[in-house]
Amino acid sequence: MPELPEVETIRKQLSQNIKGKIIKNIEVIDKKLAKSIKKSINNSKIKRLERYGKAILIKLSNKNCIGIHIKLTGQLIFMPKSKKDKLFSIAGVKQILPNKYTRAIIYFTDGAVLYFNDIRRFGWIKIDSCRKLQQDGFFSNLGPDALKKTLTISYFSNIIKSSKSSIKSLLMDQKKISGIGNIYANDALFLAGVHPKRPAESLSKQEAAKLYQAIQHVLKKGLKYKGASEINFVDIFGRPGEYQKHSLVYGKENNPCPKHCGERIKRIKIAGRGTFYCPGCQK
DNA sequence: ACCTAAACCTGGGCGC
DNA sequence: TGCGCCCAGGTTTAGG
């Protein structure tokens, strides 16, 4: 599922493959995407790629920016100029691009192509001046990034101390901390031994510190395995991530606890989302 | 300030 | 075979 490690995997790969290229044009296939495209990007050069929470921001040479959020089922697939046929393997399935889920296509002047595929059409592309885009409701409301130095232990302890909501909801609240979604929230809480329904303010200083470390640990592990492909996440070369093979509790209902406490993983709902935890280890 | 539920979408899995 | 139903989750919005 696209959370911080998945999006960061894409950002890094894109940075290595499209930085410096010049955009020829963008073809928007899904009309839903067209509304948020406010500037022309033709003939602009890719200067740098940044990640804001679970979104990617592509900075162009003419002070315009492309913001992309792949939400649940989006894919960015890169076709290098050397690849003459359009046959491509996505998660092991050979197919011709564009396919029926291709919602937009960016063409580069050197012949390379970037496909934006999205089964459920939740994802978005926003194109505007960088200044306006960063004032947009999504970008301007993000809390510090879960893997950057701006998320200090003291900031983290503070938001925990001052929140009555469940600790899991807090971890997933992008306004407070950006980048954590359902999979990594579940696993981090398990590692830290904290019950997901605990009111955040009830955590001790020690528990908050342990949770902070657990978050760093699971996100780095996610990066190491190039993301989790529970739904249909793939990298820009169409390859799935591996984290789902190493997740601790997410999706493991009824499995024995990975810490061998003798209990089985339970599944409950918090804010409408599937939540997995070990009743033996998480208090 | 906090919660929940519904909406946005579609494919896949299930029961019948 | 196929229909209807539920489920998945990132984010926004509406309502309590």
- Decide if A201 is catalytic: no
Establish whether the CB of A137 is closer than 7 Å to any nucleic acid atom in strand C: yes
Which pTM value belongs to this model?
0.95
A174-CA/C10-C1' distance, Å: 10
**A188: which 2 tokens?**
């981090």
Of the candidates A45, A266, A267, A273, the residue annotated as catalytic is A273
Measure CA to C1' and name the residue nearest B6.
Answer: A272
Over chain A, what is the mean pLDDT? 92
> What is the pLDDT at residue A171?
94
Whole-angstrom distance, CA of residue A78 vs CA of residue A75: 10
**A246: which 2 tokens?**
């190493």
For the cut 90, the answer to whether the pLDDT of residue A81 exceeds it is: no
Mean pLDDT lowest for which of A3-17, A81-95, A100-114, A185-199?
A81-95
> What is the pLDDT at residue A269?
86
In angstroms, what CA-CA distances link A96 with A85, A121, A213? 8, 20, 43
> Which 70-89 positions of A have CB less than 7 A from strand C?
71-73
> What is the pLDDT at residue A85?
72
- Across A32-37, average pLDDT: 92
Task: Give A157's contacts (C-beta < 8 A, 6+ positions apart).
Answer: A205, A208, A209, A212
Helix, strand or coil, per DSSP, at residue A13: helix
> Percentage of chain A surpassing pLDDT 70?
99
- Across A162-189, average pLDDT: 92
Encode pLDDT of A198-215 as tens digits.
Answer: 999 999 999 999 999 999
> What is the pLDDT at residue A86?
74
Of the candidates A54, A176, A221, A239, the residue annotated as catalytic is A54
- Decide if A273 is catalytic: yes
> What is the pLDDT at residue A263?
92
Whole-angstrom distance, CA of residue A181 vs CA of residue A15: 23
Contact A46, A58 (CB under 8 A): yes
Which nucleotide C1' is nearest A55 CA? C10
Which nucleotide C1' is nearest A270 CA? B4
Task: Give A220's contacts (C-beta < 8 A, 6+ positions apart).
Answer: A147
- pLDDT tier, A193 (very low <50, low <70, confident <90, very high otherwise): very high
Encode pLDDT of A117-140 as tens digits.
Answer: 999 999 999 999 999 998 888 999
- pLDDT tier, A67 (very low <50, low <70, confident <90, very high otherwise): very high
**Could you tell me where the DSSP H helices lie in A100-181?**
130-135, 137-140, 153-161, 167-172
Residue A109's Cβ-count burial label (10 Å; 0-12, 13-18, 19+) is middle
Which nucleotide C1' is nearest A142 CA? C11
A271-CA/B1-C1' distance, Å: 16
For the cut 70, the answer to whether the pLDDT of residue A5 exceeds it is: yes
- pLDDT tier, A84 (very low <50, low <70, confident <90, very high otherwise): low
Whole-angstrom distance, CA of residue A224 vs CA of residue A245: 12
Whole-angstrom distance, CA of residue A53 vs CA of residue A144: 8
Whole-angstrom distance, CA of residue A124 vs CA of residue A28: 11
